[in-house]
Amino acid sequence: MTALKESPRDPAQARLDLVLPAGEGWTHEIAAGETFRIVDLEGNQAADTLFFNSRDFDERYSAMETIRAQGNIYLTTGTTLMSSEGRPLLEIVADTCGRHDTLGGACSAESNQVRYALEKKYMHNCRDSFLLALARAGRGMTKRDLPSNINFFMNVPVTPAGALTFEDGVSGPGRYVEMRAETHVLVLISNCPQLNNPCNGYNPTPVRLLVWRAG
């Protein structure tokens, strides 16, 4: 499933427009009806992302509910990002990349050690970036509040035998994904610092984040 679609929205009209450096974490509240865009500025950058209902953090993004609702493991235009309560959080309304992963999970100290080498344990990783961003925002959430995430722009094809493979990206400079919030959400991003697999082209780069008001 690939559904390329461009957005009519003008960045000059956005209420928020910032660049998140490679390897950084970020949180932000997006109101129902607002539109959120992530731009892969230089290409081949994985943006590890989670969403929470900002009125009740116990309700959060669910990869399982999202896959079940659409009967497809990849995310693109038309995908509804579902919550752990089976309700829509956001809908992807534009996508110039075409495919995003929600199976590969976030890199962590543990996965760095198991997948790559013992001494890679202390390298920067998305799980720590998520936790640091949540702590800085004073959200009172910890490790147990991190469900399986979305990896925007990351290419993790499932083979016919059912294996997961981390492949070179299908994204490119300037490609973006855009979603409309169906409820008030808190977005949490780790702009992946991973250097040991091709999800970032072995070179983590910045992403641009924009939010437009409703209507």
Cβ 210 to Zn ion shortest distance, Å: 22
Could you say whether residue 189 binds Zn ion (CB under 5 A)?
Answer: no
Could you say whether residue 126 binds Zn ion (CB under 5 A)?
Answer: yes
Could you say whether residue 194 binds Zn ion (CB under 5 A)?
Answer: yes
Cβ 200 to Zn ion shortest distance, Å: 8
Cβ 58 to Zn ion shortest distance, Å: 25
Determine which residue in the list 81, 89, 107, 181 makes contact with Zn ion, applying CB under 5 A. Answer: 107
- Rank residues 82 and 107 by Cβ distance to Zn ion and give the closer one: 107
**Complete DSSP assignment for the chain:** ----B-----GGG-SEEEEEPTT-EEEEEE-TT-EEEEEESSSS--EEEEEEETTEEEEEB-HHHHHHHHT-SSB-TT-EEEBTTS-EEEEEEEESS--BBSSS----HHHHHHHT-GGGTTS--HHHHHHHHHHHTT----GGG----EEET---PBPTTS-B-----S--TTEEEEEEESS-EEEEEEE----SSGGGTTS---EEEEEE---
Could you say whether residue 192 binds Zn ion (CB under 5 A)?
Answer: yes
Cβ 38 to Zn ion shortest distance, Å: 15
Total residues at the site for Zn ion (CB under 5 A)? Answer: 4
Q: Contacts with Zn ion in 18-77 (CB under 5 A)? A: none
Chain residues that interact with Zn ion, rule: CB under 5 A = 107, 126, 192, 194
